[in-house]
């Protein structure tokens, strides 16, 4: 059995920007503190929700380093260091390791994609060049490819690959992955509307967008299940299903950053090529936040 990086709800944290589109480290620090105070179990920095793909290399490294130092070992910090350039993924990962991260979130190659054999080749190459636990990230809607259950089985044999963030939405595939890999691969839900469902198959928790705006709720959905209070977890999951869905009324992280600004944080805009929400989508999101008492 491999070591589990965290159980419960890790936040796929946004990257706040200033008015002149620079990383707002002061606000990021406040957000990290708020997450920890409200029960978040891990910080996932510079992932999809953190707009890692539009951060410069220097910004990417600096943001990871800041998150590690500011979190100060209170909870684990996992850095998004995946790339469709295998050598660059290793470079980013090694720099994150120097900062002291607890885990590496490693998305599958996008755009150029690869075969299942290519996936195994890429991840073996990275595995042998890092010393930090790796969480795979399977998100076909973003990358145009998926990790098949049989491939997961092969990847789970690598010493540093300890978990996956499953955002395929395919519960049947998750069941197959759990059956094939057992204790050699922890599974985290990559979709907030499937936390309880994936945990019922043995998942360890969630890497959550919802947690940005409702950290205690995301934590409690997972924590209740871990405590054996499965019915309470299910009820809370369904109670917040509308907000989970409305945070994806536009391309992530457009809605969640808009929601945080509505709540009172100062997280700035998304970077291009992302664009602000239209008025109808914004009103739908505000109504959802209001139903749950997050805005007036």
Reply yes or no on whether 157 is catalytic. Answer: no
Q: Give me 54's structure tokens.
A: 């539009």
In sequence order, the β-bridge partners of residue 6 are: none
Rg (CA), the chain: 18
Q: Any idea what DSSP says for residue 184?
A: G
* Contact in structure between 169 and 196 (CB atoms under 8 Å): no
Cα distance between residue 35 and residue 84, in whole Å = 30
* Contact in structure between 104 and 132 (CB atoms under 8 Å): yes
Which of the residues 152, 165, 188, 240 is marked catalytic?
165
Reply yes or no on whether 137 is catalytic. Answer: yes
Cα distance between residue 138 and residue 142, in whole Å = 9
Which of the residues 3, 22, 123, 137 is marked catalytic?
137
Q: Which long-range contacts (CB under 8 A, 24 or more apart) does 158-161 make?
A: 158/123, 158/124, 158/127, 158/134, 159/127, 160/127, 160/130, 160/131, 160/132, 160/133, 160/134, 161/123, 161/127, 161/133, 161/134, 161/136, 161/185
- The catalytic residue positions are 137, 165
């Amino acid at each position: 059995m491999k070591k589990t990086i965290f159980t419960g709800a890790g936040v796929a944290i946004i990257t706040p920007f200033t008015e002149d589109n620079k990383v707002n480290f002061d606000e990021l620090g406040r957000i990290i503190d708020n997450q920890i105070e409200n029960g978040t179990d891990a910080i996932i920095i510079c992932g999809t929700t953190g707009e890692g793909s539009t951060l410069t290399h220097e910004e990417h490294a600096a943001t990871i380093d800041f998150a590690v130092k500011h979190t100060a070992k209170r909870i684990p910090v996992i850095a998004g260091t995946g790339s469709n350039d295998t050598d660059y993924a290793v470079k980013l990962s090694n720099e994150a390791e120097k900062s002291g991260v607890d885990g590496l979130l490693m998305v599958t190659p996008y755009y150029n994609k690869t075969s299942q054999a290519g996936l195994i080749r890429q991840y073996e190459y990275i595995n042998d060049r890092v010393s930090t636990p790796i969480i795979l990230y399977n998100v076909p809607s973003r990358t145009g490819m998926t990790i098949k259950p049989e491939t997961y089985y092969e990847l789970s044999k690598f010493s540093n690959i300890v978990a996956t963030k499953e955002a395929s939405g395919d519960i049947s595939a998750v069941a197959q992955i759990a059956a094939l890999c057992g204790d050699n691969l922890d599974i985290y839900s990559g979709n907030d509307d499937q936390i309880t469902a994936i945990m019922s198959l043995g998942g360890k928790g969630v890497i959550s967008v919802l947690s940005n705006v409702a950290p205690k709720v995301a934590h409690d959905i997972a924590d209740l299940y871990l405590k054996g209070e499965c019915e309470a977890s299910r009820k809370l999951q369904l109670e917040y299903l509308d907000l989970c869905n409305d945070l994806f009324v536009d391309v992530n992280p457009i809605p969640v950053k808009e929601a945080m600004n509505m709540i009172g944080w100062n997280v700035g805009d998304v970077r291009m090529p992302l664009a602000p929400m239209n008025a109808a989508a914004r009103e739908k999101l505000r109504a959802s936040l209001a139903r749950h008492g997050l805005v007036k």
